[in-house]
Amino acid sequence: MDAGEFVTAHFYQFITALALKDIHLLDDPSFSDEDRAAHQLAYDWGSVLVSHSFLQNHPGNPVAHWVSRQRSAAPPPVLRAFFGLISQDVAQFITKYSPNDNPPNAE
């Protein structure tokens, strides 16, 4: 997994938690200020990569433009709407990086 895929995975984790469980991962009380800043950097970088990729095929989409500009600071309703637009991409990403369900027989 390269750096772009790494931050994409973090953004997908962030947006999935928000959209499906109403959990804002940056509000985790166990995070130190340094941890929170590091996670926000990954979420922000991932949001830019994902929104720009989406905008290549849907250049006029206002939700994707909003996420591109505001990143992880976009309002939760906007992030939830964006999740609705990219949920298939999230599922494909998870499938790509999930362990094989049928590992080869060990000898």
Closest to 10 in 3D by CA, of 51, 40, 43:
43
Residue type (1 letter), 16: T
Q: Rounded CA gap, 93 and 104, in Å?
A: 22
- Tokens read off for 32: 């130190």
Q: Where are the domains of the chain?
A: 3-97
pLDDT surpasses 70 at 29: yes
Q: Rounded CA gap, 48 and 18, in Å?
A: 17
pTM: 0.85
CA–CA–CA angle 42, 75, 52 (5° rounding): 50
* Cβ–Cβ under 8 Å, residues 18 and 80: yes
Mean pLDDT of 40-49: 96
